Chain A
Amino acid sequence: MRFFRLIWANLLRKKIRTTLTIGSFMVALFLYGLLVAIRAAFGGNSDVAGVDRLNVINKTSLIMPLPFSYRDRLANMPGISGVTFASWFGGVYQDEKNFFPQFAVDADTWLKVYSEFVVPEAEKKAFLADRQGCLVGRKLAKRFGFKVGDRIPLRGTIWPGTWEFNVRGIYDGNRPEVDTTPLLFRNDYLEERRSFSKGMVGWYVVKLANPDDAVKITKAIDDAFANSPYETLTQTEKAFAASFAKQMGNIEFLVLVIGSVVFFTLLLVAGNTMAIAVRERTPELAVLKTVGFTDVGVLGLVMAETLIIAGQGGALGLLLAKFFTLGGDPTGGFLGNFYLGWGSLGLGLALALAVGIVSGILPAVSAMRLKVVDALRRV
């Protein structure tokens, strides 16, 4: 592009200023990246939620159980192609600070409903053949060095005693966003050993034959169990993830507030810089118009400058954040699924460019409106 050298020369005019402005974009977008990853770690990452799954919980509270007998009743309802269930175990591995989630799941059906979990066929078979078997996620396995064949002892907090599990397989996510920090073990082992809550499960997950039926089936399920001792609350997985995250505190809101403040500050910094850059160049802009650059052309030159700054700084910051999150959870367990997806990176870049446009538009318009004769008189 023939105007590139002119734009570039203008960017290099005040190297320190340009670098600092790019730096502010970089810092802001790096922060954005971390916030997104934190939000994802708190379960706010609704991209992962299956659109074809509903969660059925006890209407009173998520921590209240539902009877095992609901499984067959759900399976027989029209429009439902699969049913599975899980319970929160809440065991401690060696020390409280080693927190990770453990679920007692229905071994036969879990992997069918959660198709995003990928387990080698032989390991799946081994898991189904061992009542004390468990599957650990890739991230969890990495964190504690678990290997197939290891024995993992957990101290029960809800159901007391020491519970031992044999690692029969390690599962991966079919996408990088999938949370692979939980340990999954067999519900029949829990059922056999626990002294209370027998015949109950934590919650059900149903798979829909057709995602478009979500609203209809949600209502059908809750209606079916209405006026029973165990009424249900059925939600899409997305809504479920969101309400689950809320229990951790309103992370979503916090992330939004911090993010907005960061971007607003960036807007002021970048806007001020561009305003100065245009003002000090007034006579030169007049010369450009004198030799034949149109008003819109001059506007374009200024906008191109801000967009290059915003794009460069934004891309650098996002790249940095991506590398940072590739290192995994920086807190060693507290932020299990610390992940920054490509979608969020794209959104970040779009945000950076949007800030670039907004901060550049006023100076660019004043450059566009600049009248040559007035500008030359001011020299």
Chain B
Amino acid sequence: MVRVDAKANGNSLVQVRDLDKKYQRGSEEIHVLQGLNLDVGAGEFVAFMGPSGSGKTTLLNLLGGLDLPTSGSIKVAGDEITHMSANKLTAWRARHVGFIFQMYNLIPVLTAFQNVELPLLLTRLSKAERRQHVETALAVVGLSDRMKHYPRQLSGGQEQRVAIARAIVADATFLLADEPTGDLDRKSAGEIMDLLERLVHEHAKTLLMVTHDPRAAERAHVVLHLDKGVLVEGGAGGGGEA
């Protein structure tokens, strides 16, 4: 279930109400999000589209607890995240959110294995348990044979798969992807989308993805457009109904 009219019945995984975000640039005020509402149920795959500068990254950052809104509320699995202290928010993010970026953002001096292991270093898992989780995540993205490779020894598509493995290794509540195929050729982009789709369908992940690419958006259950600071429904993707 995905809605943008604030009329959901209340048990959605992600619930956003009256979200406002203003930026101050000098004397100029940029009102990026203007009373945005959103409900996303567990297991959904949502694509956000919209022109450059419309606020897609801003929205994703707010949903992931990387930034705070000017006003409004964001509830994820019952937790109101807009009033958390910085440390609490960091802990919440580690437990609930998996981020996937356009530029992969891997640590160049760590191997694929070590990059994926990063979020687990903050948990209480033992070394053996961490190894098991990392190996599973890398197997899911199909990179079991590249564990000891450094990012520079991998192709762009492989790097993004490592980043996806890092996002899922700690078993996040939902995944946020900001133009995950933006830097890839068409073939690699297709493979990444296959993988993300599999995560939703076979591993029951919830995925919110920003994209400019209609081919990528097509895979989502629902495509939402960011327009004048609010979300509007615009043409469903291959999957379900809005």
Contact = CB atoms under 8 A, between A and B. Distances in A.
B118 A5 contact: no
A9 B66 contact: no
Contacts of B110: 5-6, 9
A376 interface: yes
A64 interface: no
A369 to B, nearest CB: 11
Interface stretch (A25-33, A152-160, A249-257, A287-295): A287-295
Interface string B100-141: 010101111110001000110110000100000000000000
Contacts of B103: 283, 379
B236 interface: no
Interface residues of B, number: 27
Given A9-B109, A283-B105, A373-B67, A291 B94 contact: yes
Interface centre among B61, B86, B107 (most CB of A within 10 A): B107
Contacts of A13: 108-109
Interface in B128-174: 166
Contacts of B93: 290-292
A291 B99 contact: yes
Interface in A269-291: 283-284, 286-291
A9 B114 contact: yes
Contacts of A297: 122
B27 interface: no
B121 A294 contact: no
A373 B49 CA distance: 20
Interface string B54-94: 00000001001011000000000000000000110011011
The binding surface of chain A is classed by DSSP as helix
A292 B122 contact: yes
Contact of A287 (B87, B90, B91, B107): B107
A12 interface: yes
A288 B166 CA distance: 11
A5 B114 contact: yes
Contacts of B95: 292
Interface string A294-312: 1101000000000000000
Contact of B119 (A6, A10, A292, A379): A292
Given A283-B105, A291-B94, A294-B90, A6 B121 contact: yes
A291 B118 contact: yes
A9 B95 CA distance: 25
Contacts of B122: 291-293, 297
A2 interface: yes
A9 to B, nearest CB: 4
Interface in A190-204: none
A228 B174 CA distance: 95
Counting chain B CB atoms within 10 Å of each CB, the highest count among A5, A283, A291 belongs to: A291
Interface string A126-167: 000000000000000000000000000000000000000000
Given A9-B109, A287-B105, A292 B66 contact: no
A41 B208 CA distance: 73
Contacts of B94: 291-292
A118 interface: no
Nearest to A10: B109
A5 B108 CA distance: 13
Contacts of A292: 90-91, 93-95, 119, 122
A372 interface: yes
A24 to B, nearest CB: 22
Contact of A2 (B87, B121, B166): B121
Contacts of B64: 290
A58 to B, nearest CB: 69
Contacts of B119: 291-292
Nearest to A294: B90
Contacts of B91: 292, 294
B119 to A, nearest CB: 4
A289 B118 CA distance: 11
Given A6-B121, A289-B90, 17 more contacts: A5-B114, A6-B110, A9-B107, A12-B109, A283-B105, A284-B107, A290-B105, A291-B93, A292-B93, A292-B95, A292-B122, A293-B90, A294-B90, A295-B86, A295-B90, A297-B122, A371-B67
